[in-house]
């Protein structure tokens, strides 16, 4: 980062790294880089924001971050929500239900 002033080049670089990681199937890095770009966008004062130099629309970065987070979680096996246990029904060969202790 350039210190006091965040440049659009820094945001573009982070998003380009995110896309490169996505193409490589590295969703964790894609998420991290996109999150960095999102943070840079949030920290950049609007008065210093030249949209002509920015290759990524802010709302598209937000969408990309959300998608990469979901992909990263799906690959790592991380899910949200509750786990529901479904009882197992056991059937004899004649189709009658039975308890496994029988």
pLDDT (tens digit, 9 = 90+) per residue, 11-33? 899 999 999 999 999 999 999 99
Domain that holds residue 45: 1-102
Number of domains in the chain: 1
Burial per residue of 33-58, b for 16 or more beta-carbon CB atoms within 10 angstroms, e otherwise: bbbbbbebbeebeeeeeeeeebebeb
Per-residue pLDDT tens digits for 41-54: 887 766 555 555 77
Say if CB 11 and CB 37 are below 8 A apart: yes
Rg (CA), the chain: 24
Q: What is the pTM of this model?
A: 0.61
């Amino acid at each position: 980062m350039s210190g006091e002033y965040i440049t659009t080049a820094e945001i573009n670089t982070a998003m380009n790294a995110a896309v490169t990681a996505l193409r490589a199937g590295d969703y964790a890095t894609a998420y991290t880089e996109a999150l960095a770009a999102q943070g840079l966008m949030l920290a950049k004062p609007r008065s210093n924001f030249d949209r002509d130099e920015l290759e990524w629309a802010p709302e598209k970065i937000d969408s990309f971050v959300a998608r990469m987070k979901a992909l990263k979680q799906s690959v790592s096996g991380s899910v949200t929500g509750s786990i529901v246990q479904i009882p197992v029904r056991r059937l004899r060969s004649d189709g009658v239900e039975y308890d496994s202790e029988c």
